[in-house]
């Protein structure tokens, strides 16, 4: 770095406070997590004609012991596991460095209360749960993380990086606020290069050009596979519901990618057959919904259950916790290191429809495209309470959709179940409204 000091944060005032919680309580929260996961799956299994290949994804979610064993062995041989947040961390670089990324989950109500001890009150449940998950290690895979990478996306994520840096190694990945100019792009590509250097320092190995190309191609195949799965959902014969799509994609956050891809291929084959044989999970007349807004992260399936139990089906989404995460391909013609870094930078910046950027027009384009492509009847805009960026963008979208006569409803909620009744009324009324429009 030309003798310049690497811009790494050095915490000069680490604070000693720990979440005051006993082992018993942590055990209870872990058990509750499994209980809620099982309850979710029980509800999802009620769907008639559900693909048998879903069993693998259910199992991966419920029983992490196999993955845990794999990663422990990997670590024993000197491998590094890297926790990542958001949709902006170039996983290809991590794999190419010989490390394994795990996307950190943060959708569990019980992790909120303990985390509130060291967090401000008025922040969104996702951040609270992220911190809770990390401290309590509710997901056993999180204990394996040597480093956590946090993109400086929303304010919550930025400040969470500071809080977590009291306890573990945190790297921030600094993001521009505006994507629409060349300077932002250059800035971002520098950040991606910096990440590469840090990974090389961590592993004491240079990232090999061939290795990077190999993983770019592999993850590109994963993207193609997810697109293939999503294309099936555009069919008028509905063979997979939204909840199952979320489940499949969220297991990719931590599963072995090669194995996961094999299993998704099997699922796609089965679903194709089901389309052929008209083995559908919902009536052709079911209102078709596009999900947008704050991410719905396992086990927070409340809203998806409500929608699909009320007779509608989620056919697509632009969520960073589902379709969008795997949607963008890497575009490149030349395989020099410089070209690859730039292409990765572009993949994780330009097409990413995250509301942390100043402008949201391409997010709107994306939703409009999804409505057309998936022949949707309406859009459900989920807002986690105090998720300001999504709430801000709702206004522009609602004005536009009103003009275009696209049915849209905003559902503002949290992880708790206390408003389940009110949400059910809103969602049912929205579905009745969609049915009456036909």
Tokens matching residue 210 = 């061939």
Structure tokens at 225: 């596979």
Q: In what order do the strands lie in the sheet with 378-384?
A: 313-317, 288-293, 378-384, 408-413
412-431 binders of other proteins (CB under 8 A): 412, 418-419, 421-422, 425-426, 428-429
Question: Minimum CB separation from other proteins for residue 417, in Å?
Answer: 12
> Among 189-197, 205-213, 327-335, 408-416, which window interacts with other proteins (CB under 8 A)?
408-416
For residue 42, the tally of other CB atoms under 10 A from its CB is: 9
Closest CB 369 distance from other proteins, rounded Å:
23
Q: How many CA atoms lie within 13 A of 299 on its CB side?
A: 28
Q: How far is 31 from 25, CA to CA, in rounded Å? A: 10
Q: Choose between 65 and 405: whose C-beta lies nearer to other proteins.
A: 405
- DSSP 3-state assignment of 151? strand
| 402 is a site residue for other proteins (CB under 8 A) | yes
DSSP 46-77: TSTT--TTHHHHHHHHH--HHHHHHHHHHHHT
Residue with Cβ nearer other proteins (34 or 388): 388
To other proteins, the closest distance from the beta carbon of 378 in angstroms equals 11
Question: What DSSP line would sit under 246-266, residue for residue?
Answer: HHHHHHTTTS-HHHHHHHHHH
List, as one string, the DSSP characters of 323-374. Answer: GGGGTPPP--S---HHHHHHHHHHHTTTT---TTSS--HHHHHHHHHHHHHT
H-type alpha helices, 173-256: 182-203, 209-232, 242-251
Residues in contact with other proteins, counted by CB under 8 A, come to a total of 18
Angle at alpha carbon of residue 275, lines to 270 and 279, rounded to 5°: 85
Q: Which stretch binds other proteins (CB under 8 A): 73-81, 160-168, 271-279, 401-409?
A: 401-409
- Work out how close the CB of 412 gets to other proteins at its nearest, in angstroms, rounded to a whole number: 8
Residue 309 as a binder of other proteins (CB under 8 A): the answer is: no
Does residue number 283 form part of the binding site for other proteins (CB under 8 A)? no
User: What is the footprint of other proteins within residues 370-389 (CB under 8 A)?
Assistant: none
As measured in angstroms, the least distance from the Cβ of 357 to other proteins is 24
The minimum distance between CB 242 and other proteins, in angstroms, equals 21
* Structure tokens, 371: 């409505």
Would you call 426 helix, strand, or coil by DSSP?
A: helix
C-alpha 23/C-alpha 11 separation (Å) is 28
Nearest to other proteins of 96, 409 (CB atom): 409
Q: Which is nearer to other proteins, 331 or 432 (CB)?
A: 432
Residue recorded with tokens 């929205």 = 430
Q: Residue 293 belongs to what H/E stretch?
A: strand 288-293
Please identify, using beta-carbon distances, which residue of 349 and 387 lies nearer to other proteins: 387
Strand partners, 102: 83
Q: How far is the CB of 428 from other proteins (least distance, A)?
A: 5
Token pair recorded at residue 407: 């049915």
Least distance (Å) between residue 432 CB and other proteins:
4
Taking every pair of Cα atoms in the chain, the longest distance, rounded to a whole number of angstroms, is 68
Please report whether residue 437 would count as binding other proteins according to CB under 8 A. Answer: yes
Does the protein bind other proteins through residue 432 (CB under 8 A)? Answer: yes
- Our CB check for other proteins shows the closer of 346 and 391 to be 391
* In the complex, least distance from residue 392 CB atom to other proteins, rounded to whole angstroms: 14
Q: Using the rule CB under 8 A, give the single segment among 19-27, 127-135, 142-150, 400-408 that binds other proteins.
A: 400-408
Residue among 26, 113, 350, 433 that touches other proteins (CB under 8 A): 433
Shortest distance in whole angstroms from residue 83 CB to other proteins: 34
Given the complex with other proteins, which of 232 and 434 has the nearer CB atom? 434
3-class SS of residue 116:
helix
Tokens representing 16 are 């000693």
Sole binder of other proteins in the list 163, 287, 405, 415 (CB under 8 A): 405
CB of 422 to other proteins, least distance (A): 6
436 touching other proteins, by CB under 8 A? yes
Phi-psi region of 174 (alpha: psi -120 to 50; beta: other; left: phi over 0): beta
Contacts to other proteins from residues 228-267, by CB under 8 A: none
Write out the two tokens for 185: 């792009």
Contact positions with other proteins (CB under 8 A) in 122-151: none
Stretch binding other proteins (CB under 8 A), from 271-279, 322-330, 364-372, 406-414 = 406-414
Residue ranges in contact with other proteins by CB under 8 A: 402, 405, 407-409, 412, 418-419, 421-422, 425-426, 428-429, 432-433, 436-437
């Amino acid at each position: 770095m030309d003798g310049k000091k690497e811009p790494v944060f050095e915490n000069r005032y680490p604070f000693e406070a720990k979440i005051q919680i006993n082992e018993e309580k942590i055990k209870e929260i872990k058990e509750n997590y499994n209980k809620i996961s099982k309850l979710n799956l029980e509800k999802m299994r009620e769907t008639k004609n559900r693909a048998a290949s879903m069993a693998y994804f259910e199992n991966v979610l419920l029983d992490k012991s196999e993955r845990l064993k794999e990663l422990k062995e990997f670590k024993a041989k000197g491998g590094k596991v890297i926790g990542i947040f958001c949709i902006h961390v170039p996983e290809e670089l991590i794999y190419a460095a010989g490390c394994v990324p795990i996307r950190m989950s943060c959708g569990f109500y019980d992790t909120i209360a303990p985390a509130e001890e060291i967090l401000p009150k008025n922040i969104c449940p996702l951040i609270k749960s992220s911190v809770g998950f990390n401290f309590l290690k509710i997901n056993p895979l999180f204990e394996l993380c040597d480093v956590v990478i946090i993109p400086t996306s929303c304010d919550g994520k930025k400040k969470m990086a500071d809080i977590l840096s009291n306890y573990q190694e945190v790297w921030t990945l600094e993001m521009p606020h505006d994507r629409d100019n060349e300077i932002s792009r250059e800035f971002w590509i520098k950040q991606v290069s910096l990440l590469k250097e840090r990974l090389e320092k961590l592993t004491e190995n240079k990232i090999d050009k061939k290795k990077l190309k190999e993983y770019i191609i592999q993850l590109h195949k994963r993207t193609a596979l997810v697109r293939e799965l999503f294309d099936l959902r555009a069919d008028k014969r509905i063979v997979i519901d939204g909840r199952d799509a979320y489940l499949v994609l969220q297991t990719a956050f931590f599963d072995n990618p090669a194995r996961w891809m094999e299993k998704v291929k099997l699922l796609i084959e089965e679903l194709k057959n089901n389309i052929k044989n008209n083995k559908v999970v919902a009536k052709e007349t079911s209102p078709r919904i596009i999900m947008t807004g704050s991410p719905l992260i396992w086990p927070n399936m409340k809203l998806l259950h409500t929608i699909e139990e009320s007779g509608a089906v989620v056919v697509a989404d632009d969520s960073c916790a589902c379709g969008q995460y795997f949607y963008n391909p890497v575009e490149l013609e030349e395989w020099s290191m410089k070209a690859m870094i730039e292409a990765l930078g572009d993949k994780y910046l330009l097409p990413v429809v995250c509301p942390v950027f100043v402008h949201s027009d391409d997010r709107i384009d994306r939703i409009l495209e999804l409505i057309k492509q998936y022949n949707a009847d309406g859009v459900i805009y989920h807002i986690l309470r105090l998720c300001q960026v999504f709430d801000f963008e709702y206004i522009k979208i609602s004005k536009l959709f009103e003009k275009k006569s696209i049915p849209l409803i905003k559902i503002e909620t949290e992880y708790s179940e206390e408003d389940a009744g009110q949400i059910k009324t809103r969602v049912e009324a929205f579905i009745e409204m969609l049915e009456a429009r036909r």
